[in-house]
Structure formats: C-alpha cells, structure tokens
Chain A
Amino acid sequence: MRIRLGAIAALAVAAWLLPYQLNSYAMHVVNVMLLYAILSVGLGLCMGIAGQINLAQVAFFGVGAYATAVLTVKEGMGFWTAAVLALLATAAIGLVVGTPALRVQSHYLGIVTLGLALAFTNWVTNSTLAGGAEGIPGIPRPTLPGVDLSSDYLFYYVELALFAVTLVFGLFVVHTSLGRRMRAMRDDSLAAGAVGVEVPALRMTAFLLASVYGGVAGVLYSGLIGYVAPETFSIANMFLLLAMVIIGGRQSLVGCVIGAISLALVREVLIDYPTYAQVAYGTVVVLTVVFAPTGLAGLPVRLRGLLHRRTTATASSGLTPFRPYDPAGTTGEPDAPMLAVRDLSMHFRGVKALTEVSLEVPAGQIRGIVGPNGSGKTTLFNVVSGLYRPTAGRVVLDGRDVTAARPFALAHAGIARTFQNLRLFSALSVRDNVLVALDPTRASGTWRYLVLPVGVWRRDRALRREADALLDRFGLAAFADNLPTALPYGIQRRVEIARAMAARPRLLLLDEPAAGLNGDEVRQLCDIVRSIRDFGVTVVVIEHNMGMVMSLCDHVTVFAHGAIIADGPPAEVAISPEVIEAYLGESMAMPAPVASEVQG
C-alpha cells in the first residue's frame, strides 16, 4: 500500500512537472494523448467492467466535440455553458445507443453500436449544421479567470485535472458496489440477475458512463484543437481506441490508460508511417487476445502465476466447518404456502417441458424434487426464478403473484437459487461473489456516486464486514480473496450456497447441490440445508442423490415428462409404482425390437 501511494505521488509530481520538459509540439501531443486516455477509461468501464461491447465510443467523443462546436460557433454561447450542454447531449445519446443492449448482447451489440457510430459520421459529413466534410473551425478556447488557457501548456493542467478526476471516479466505481455489480453482470448476467442485480439498468448505466467520458474528452478536444471535422471520429479511430483498451487490459482502468498512452506514443513515433503503425497495432491486438487476454495490466499477475504455480494446490485445507444459523423459530403461519405454482406450462416450440404443473410448498419446508433427466425439474426452477416466462399458469410467492417477473425483482422479493452447473462470477473473488448478493443497493441509488461518494464508501466497508461474517459462517473465510475457479469443486458449491444465502432469501432453490460431492461433503451439505431451514428459509431442492433426498426432505415431488407423477412424504413416494416405472422403465413390457437394434 505504501509503495503504491509513493508511486502515485511520484507519478503526480512527474505529470505536474512534465510541461517544463517539453517543446510546444510535444506538449500538443501529450494533450491529445490525455484525451485518448479519458476515452479509453470510459470504454474500459463499458466493455471491460460491464462487458458491454461498445464500438460507438468514438461517436460519443464526436457528439461532445460537435455539440460544443455548434453551440459556441453557431449559437454564440460561452465555452463552459456549451460544455455542460454538450455533456448532457452526449449522455442522452449514450442512453439511446445503449438501448439495444437491453435486447441484444455480444456481437449483435457490436454491430449495432458500430452501425450507429457510422450513422453519426454519416450525419456530420452531410449536415450543414455540422459543417459537412469541412467541419466547424473557429471554436473559441475556453477561458478561466486568471489562467490563460490559450497556451497548450496551461490547457494541459486543465486536462490533467479532469483526467485525474475521471480516472479516480472510474476506479472508485470499479471498486465499490456499482462496479462490482457490473463485473458480476459481465461474468454471468443470468446469475447476476438471480442474485438481484438489475441487469437492464446497469447496462444502461455502463453506456451512460462511457458516453459521459466520451463527452468530456470531446469537449476538451474542441477546446484544444479549436476545430472539428468528421475524420477525427472515423471507424479507424474507433478501432485504434479499441486497440488501446485491449492491449492495455480492458478489465483494468489503469491498464486502459497505459494502453492509451503507449499506443499514442507508438503512433507518434511512427507518424511518418501511419499504415505500418496500423499493421503493428492490429497485429498486437491479435497477439494480445490470443496470448495475453488481460493485456498489459494483466501481465504482472500472469507472471506471478507462472512463478507460484505449485503453491496453490493446497487450497482445500482452509475449509472450516459450517457454523449453524440461530434457529428463528416460526415465521408467520406455519402452513401458509411460501411458494405456490398453479397449472404451470412451459413449451419451447414443440417441446413441452412442463405441462400444467401445480404444487404448493408450505413455509419452513424442505421440499425435494426428483425425477429422471429431462423431466422438467430445472425448467420449473427457471420459471420460478424468472429466467423463463411461462407459456401458461401462475407462480405465487407468499401470497403475491410473481409470474414472469424479472429475475432481479424475484431476488428482491426473496427468491434465491443455485445452478446445476455452478454459475459463480469467475473473475470476482469469493468475497465479491458474496458481496454482490449481499448488496441491497439499487440502480436507482446510483446518484449517490455523484453526491455522496463518502457515504458509498462507508456503506461498502460495512457490507464487506457483513460478507466476511457470512463467509466465516460458511467456513469459507480462508478463500475470501481467491477466485472461485481456482477452488476445488466442493468448495465452489458451498460458495454458491453462501452467495444465495447472502441475498437473505425467504425461498431458496437448490439445483442438484450434491452433484459431484463426496459422502462427507453431502453430509455437511445436509447440515447446512437443515440449518438454513431452521433459520426460517423455505428450501426446494432438486436432487438425484436419493439417499440425501430421503433423509433431508420433509416432502418429495416426483416429475416425469414435464408432469408431477407422485407427491408425498419420502417413504411413501419411494414405493409408488409410477415412480419406480419412471426411474427403471416398464421392464416387463420392454418391446423386443429395441433389444435387437441395440445389438445391431
């Protein structure tokens, strides 16, 4: 920490003294470089942190610059008034460009944003308002009382200050609630929704952030250069920006800055050979994605990983026993259904995964759901937790109709779940995984970042303590800083349950929690589930391990072919003829031709 602070102080002093070492041309280059750094941080926030592919960053840059130009030159406004309006305009455009992200992701989003960026250049090249291909010259330099900003040297300090503010704000976002939720959404948007992250609102926030950063850079650009023209905001520059972020390391804002500065420097060195520079940075982009996907920023970690490869094998030794919850006694009326599913059907085109399923789970029960593979168990969970919108039927949670509500709304209403194939946020530490679920912050509270950053910080510290207490309860304290993918399978399973419990649910859905666990781990799991129930949480568990179902569950529901074929206490269900048939087949009536086909 001390070393880091020292390094930051040294960098700040170097940045402060830099203009004294440079001639006016070099000063200009550095000024432009800083703009690229601001743009890269914005793009890094959107792409690297929130995982939203954004190929329109250069258009945000352009909107900021052009808006300032039009407002000052054509409308005769003062620079700073124009700057504020330009920022607002960019933010608005950012929200418009971000809307497709609500519907499409990944490559679709890439092409849509790229298309919109092209639409922007097309508009400015044709519009008379934007000066057409010639652009708008004669933008006045901004003025500050007492400072002569017409000098590139002094303008540098304005840029430097704004760069520092935007970088620090970006880092603050990344390391607190908002950034954590964005990273969770990037790693696994389904699981993020299931723990209560408002995915749509956060996607918009990501574009909003990117556009504001683009706007800041744009405003500064128009003030610095005094002239805007379409080619500055071309797709070629978009790809250059992308290369900066990728080469620097998209998941680290500092990496983005390093990428921006080094690429801008390289471009300056090769200024007489722009096409060769292009070949070079294109090649480096390809090499980066293949060999060092975390970019320059990820290199130290990778090198350390190579050196310490052998010492990570002993990870499982730190697991401590689960400390049971304090029993909460009875919550509400004992027999009121916590979950009621009524005539639920779910069809995927022709495939009927569920047909008119009805079941009720009373509060405080451990309900087992068993059935052969493909019998619709997980589909039921997916409908109840809001991943699928049912074809027909209703889902009622504690007397409230929650059919087809969004996953995050259901998480807020008190449903938590785990996934059959483990969906932990792979690039977040175990603590952060739990923190995302623990965090009650809503997207509507994002304004606090602007007004009350200290409050955000304090709240985050309190949450962190809570998360550590929870990890301690689940015996996971030793792994708080590990990445989940580095942990043994059994521990990952436990982390997922801890994460689900962090959301303080009333109803917990466990999808095959014992899959891949050994006998000892299964026993521990049973203890955990019982304690969770005693704590007042209703549990529904899908499981194939019949021994566990028999001993753990109060009541068992058996599925086959998307319908319920038996329902009752475990001992009764196990001897039901329908259940035996569903599991073992009707052995006596096995048709002969099937056997011969198998042989042939």
Chain B
Amino acid sequence: MQVFLQTFIGGMSLGAIYALVAMGFSLVYRTMGLVNFAHGSVVMIGAYIASTFYLSVKLPFALAMAVAIGVTGLIGIIIERVLRPLENKDFDLMLIGTIGFGIVLEALAIIIWGATGRAVPSPVPAAPIDLGGLRIRTYDLVVLAIAAAATALLVYFLQRTKRGAAMQAVAMDHQAATAVGIHVGRSNAMAFMIGAGLAALAGGLVGPLLYVSPAMGGLLGIKGFAGAILGGFGSIPGAILGGLGIGVIDSFAAGQFQGYSELVTFLIFTVIIMIRPTGIFGERTVNRA
C-alpha cells in the first residue's frame, strides 16, 4: 500500500505536466480541429527558455517562466499563421505541416543550446514533506498547484470572457461564428497562442523534474497527446484526467518494468484507444452522410 501510494503520488506531478501539455493539445484541437504535432517541441523550447533565463540571466523562476510563455506564444502565432491556408480543409496535411515545424524547432534548439542537455535545480529547495510515511517533494506540490491554477484560469477564460466565448463558438461551428462577426483566424491564433503558452508552462515546470534536452519534446508531446486522447480529445476536464492518468500509468510501469516502461505505457495506451477511441469524456463522433 505504501509503495502503491508513493508510486501514485510520484506519477501525479509528471501527470500534472502531461495534463498541461494535453490541455494545449485539446484547446487547439477543439477550436480548429488541428492536432499540433509541434506541441512537444514547443514544450521543449519553453523549457530551454525558462531554464536559460533562470540559470544564465538569473531571473526569478516565475519571471523566467513568464518570458518563456511570451516567446512560445509568439511561436504558436507563427505556426498558426503559416498553416492558416489549410485550416478546415485538409487535416492530414496540416498535421504533417506541424510535424515539419517540430523538426525545425528541434534543430533550432540544437543550434542555439547544443545537443547535450542541462539539469535545472529545483527553485524550492526545501526537504520533502513526510506525510504518514509518504515522502512528497515540495516541488511536486508547486507543480500541482500551478497546474491547477492554470486550469482554473483557462476555464474562467473560456466560460466567462467574451474572447473565450468566441473561441468556443468557433469550436462549435466556424461558419456560424464567422456569420455572427467573429474573426475565426484571430480566434484560432489566440487558441494557438494559449496552447503554446501552456506548453511553455509545462516545459518550464518540467525542467527541474527531468533533464532539459532537445529530445525531451518528443516524449513529452506524445505522452501529453496520449493523455488528451485518453481523456477525450478536445475536452478540457478530459485532458486533465487523461494527463494525470498517463502520468500514473507511467509511474507504475516504471516501477514494474523499469527500462521497458515506455513500451508498456504505449501498449496500454494503444489498447485503451482501440477499446474506446473517444476517451473518457469524448463526444461520440457521428459519420455524416
């Protein structure tokens, strides 16, 4: 039981990161039906920028994070702008286009920061909290708290603000949204920007948990994406649950299967998708003829 809980809690903090990544995926997907395969690379860029400003420029961690969010938001806008001609036309091509962006971002990261990674020290150096025999790292709590706050902000934005509502409208029917005077392109750009911002947040937070390297994006992106699909693609609560779920599966797989944990995680994920392609909260999509 002790081990079980410890593994579970261990999975939660990485799960929270996956959840942030998944939210970015889902937000972009629900507004424009696009899967952003460059998302993982944006996470990686976010991690590098945050760690650079934190370690080299010596900004406070929170400020470094804000810079990272700003820069990646800009990257998000650029990706959206370039791929805009394909929007609502050919999703497979757009998907491949984002893969192209991912390739470019990863290469740029190697050019700027080098191929070797770097370790980022935890910004909260306190000793782990002991809770009835369970050891919880304080930084894990910080991650969970920030992820929760970001989720709350996003939900508030989508449901209580005019721009958020406009984005929801575009998600439901982009033509009808155009008809009532919403600038769909601008709304999509905003979704992309927020998605990229969430990616940077995830990247900044994951720095002290993992090693920051140009290759980190692939795995984080795929696991975040898996989380988004697991929860039901396009659903915000689904993204959170799915992300946490993948984190926990990951953590147990690592405990049980050591080196083979990734293999196991992806096999489990494949089986789940085959049983329930729509995920936990996903809408049942109906073929229209």
What is A's interface to B at a CB cutoff of 8 Å? 51, 53, 99-100, 102-104, 106-108, 110-112, 114-116, 118-119, 122-123, 125-126, 190, 235-236, 239, 242-243, 246, 275-276, 278-279, 281-286, 288-290, 293, 348-349, 378, 381-382, 387-388, 419-420, 423, 511
Across the interface, which residues of A come within 8 angstroms of B154, CB to CB? Answer: none
- Decide if the interface of chain A is mainly helix, strand, loop or mixed: helix
- In the bound assembly, the distance between CA atoms of A61 and B106 in angstroms comes to 24
In-complex Cβ contact of A190 among B110, B262, B289 (8 A): B289
State how many angstroms separate the Cβ of B270 from the closest Cβ of chain A.
5
A106 and B83: CB pair below 8 A? no
- In the bound assembly, the distance between CA atoms of A122 and B99 in angstroms comes to 21
State how many angstroms separate the Cβ of A588 from the closest Cβ of chain B.
33
- Decide if the interface of chain B is mainly helix, strand, loop or mixed: helix
- In the bound assembly, the distance between CA atoms of A112 and B225 in angstroms comes to 10
Across the interface, which residues of A come within 8 angstroms of B286, CB to CB? Answer: 348, 388
State how many angstroms separate the Cβ of A94 from the closest Cβ of chain B.
15
- In the bound assembly, the distance between CA atoms of A281 and B102 in angstroms comes to 11
State how many angstroms separate the Cβ of B188 from the closest Cβ of chain A.
15
**Which residue of A has the minimal Cβ distance to B115?**
A275
CB of B266 closer than 8 Å to a CB of A: yes
Across the interface, which residues of B come within 8 angstroms of A51, CB to CB? Answer: 92
Excluding A282-B104, A290-B85, 20 further A-B contacts by CB distance (< 8 Å) are: A103-B273, A106-B91, A110-B95, A111-B225, A118-B219, A122-B261, A125-B259, A239-B102, A246-B100, A279-B103, A279-B104, A279-B108, A282-B100, A286-B82, A286-B97, A289-B96, A289-B97, A382-B289, A387-B289, A388-B286
Give 5 closest A-B pairs by Cβ, nearest first.
Answer: A282-B103, A285-B100, A278-B107, A282-B104, A126-B259
Across the interface, which residues of B come within 8 angstroms of A293, CB to CB? Answer: 90, 93
In-complex Cβ contact of A110 among B35, B111, B259 (8 A): B35
- In the bound assembly, the distance between CA atoms of A107 and B104 in angstroms comes to 20
- In the bound assembly, the distance between CA atoms of A122 and B257 in angstroms comes to 12
Total interface residues on B, using CB and 8 Å? 49
Interface centre among B107, B233, B270, B289 (most CB of A within 10 A): B289
B277 and A103: CB pair below 8 A? yes
A123 and B260: CB pair below 8 A? yes
- In the bound assembly, the distance between CA atoms of A135 and B150 in angstroms comes to 44
In-complex Cβ contact of A285 among B92, B96, B110 (8 A): B96
Across the interface, which residues of B come within 8 angstroms of A286, CB to CB? Answer: 82-83, 97, 100-101, 104
Across the interface, which residues of B come within 8 angstroms of A190, CB to CB? Answer: 287, 289
B287 and A108: CB pair below 8 A? no
In the assembled complex, 6 residue pairs joining A and B whose CB atoms fall closer than 8 Å, in A order, are A112-B270, A190-B289, A275-B110, A282-B102, A289-B83, A387-B287
0/1 string, B227-247, CB within 8 A of A gives 1: 001000100000000000000
B111 and A289: CB pair below 8 A? no
State how many angstroms separate the Cβ of A497 from the closest Cβ of chain B.
16
- In the bound assembly, the distance between CA atoms of A373 and B92 in angstroms comes to 32
- In the bound assembly, the distance between CA atoms of A118 and B226 in angstroms comes to 13
Across the interface, which residues of A come within 8 angstroms of B100, CB to CB? Answer: 243, 246, 282-286, 288-289
- In the bound assembly, the distance between CA atoms of A288 and B97 in angstroms comes to 8
- In the bound assembly, the distance between CA atoms of A348 and B95 in angstroms comes to 30
State how many angstroms separate the Cβ of A145 from the closest Cβ of chain B.
41
B226 and A115: CB pair below 8 A? yes
A119 and B266: CB pair below 8 A? yes
A285 and B103: CB pair below 8 A? yes
